[in-house]
Structure 1
Amino acid sequence: MKLIFTGKTKDVYSLEDGNYLLQFKDDVTGEDGVFDPGANTVGLKIEGAGRAGLRMTKYFFDILQAEGIPTHYIGADIEKATMTVRPAAVFGNGLEVICRYRAVGSFLRRYGMYAKEGQPLDAFVEVTLKDDERQDPPISEDALHMLGILSADEYKVLKALTQQIAGIVKSVLEKKGIDLYDIKFEFGRVGENKEIILIDEISGGNMRAYKDGKYIEPLQLEKLILND
């Protein structure tokens, strides 16, 4: 097992069989000790966050697998906080794709002249570059195509998958009386036909969720979803 990448919330190892092992950490993104799924820095450490994130990721990847949605997921070891995945090539140096149902976070900071906090959004899809130096700038479909990061057809697939997967997560949360405000995904290409698949994770650290108008911390969200 060889360490090939050290991330903010996970480390990535290559395995002898060609697959990858993701080691989930207790670090979460945020600023000044406050959790923020849209932040590009580690803001704090929450004990148990790694295992909680993996439990929820496994739960949702199992649901997606049953729905026939392509992902990189192979298996997970909750105790070791590790997940085995298929290797996938990221778009460019990495993209984050956000599906927004409410105007909060960076969306509100950018568009606050027109948007009100918590204003409903119709599964708005936003793509940002993974670029810490430039604060993960948003990028349009045209720019993605012109810069050779992905094609116009690939963007359509990316957007459709984002809305489909976010809709599934939103539906699961609604059954628990929880409102999904936004969720962040990552995608990659696999195989000779360069199929687009979901990669990374689906956890409380990647979304904003509220219950009775109050924000739910990632660890609490995992308990509400999995322990009922």
Structure 2
Amino acid sequence: MADPAVAPAAAPVAARVRRRGRTTLLIAAAAVLGTLAGTCAGYLIQADREPTRLPSLSQPVLAQAKGKGPEPLSAAQDRQVKVEGDLRKLLVERPKGAGEGAYATDDEGEWMSLAEYASWYTEPDGAFRDLVGDEFRRAAVITWGESGTRDVEVRLVQYRQEEQAAAAGYAESGYYWADDLGANHSWSIPGTGDGMAYVHDEPQQRAGYQPLYSAQAHAWRGDIAMEIWIYDTKPIPKKTIMDLAERQMERL
């Protein structure tokens, strides 16, 4: 049974809640009716007005400018023509007086088959499968020897790129492995965006052989990835790898 002292105090609270709820409903209903009335009035006003004329669908004929149109790009200026032609012709030229490198090629470079290119990886079978999946199209290479102790190799690798930007991906892979070798200096290749050149100042040591220093460069443009490798029994200057990388990228 409720306590008489509490019951009177609870009743007014309940009454106030009921009144507040009913007032809210009445206000909401009035707002809805007002909105409907305003909408109906708007339709009536529009119905009394003359229809607005729509603009004509036909457009005025523009006079054609006089004079000749722009001349088409020459084969040398049109990059698409260049990269669809003989890829070997885009390779940097072998220096005059340079001898054959460890991997002999003609003066104008040679083609590398998919199998040949994959054979340069530490795991050729896996590389072959990856290159097929990455839409390898073709590769060209040129090599030479200089100073009696130095070997230079330049590769251009082209991808179909119907599904992915593989050239950029392989360039980035080159950056990763170059950094992974450690003990190197690196520089950005001007005009390439993210192209990089590396000089490794600690030689590879092997019993019975002279110390072997190395430098490398990786960059890409469009569907072509560039790879440069230099090996020497003496430290390789920064200028050597940078100049070669810039000259090769200018041809792309």
Using structure 2 for the length normalisation, give the TM-score.
Answer: 0.28
Q: Which has the larger radius of gyration?
A: 2
Using structure 1 for the length normalisation, give the TM-score.
Answer: 0.31
Higher helix share: 2
Higher relative contact order (CA 8 A, sep 6+): 1
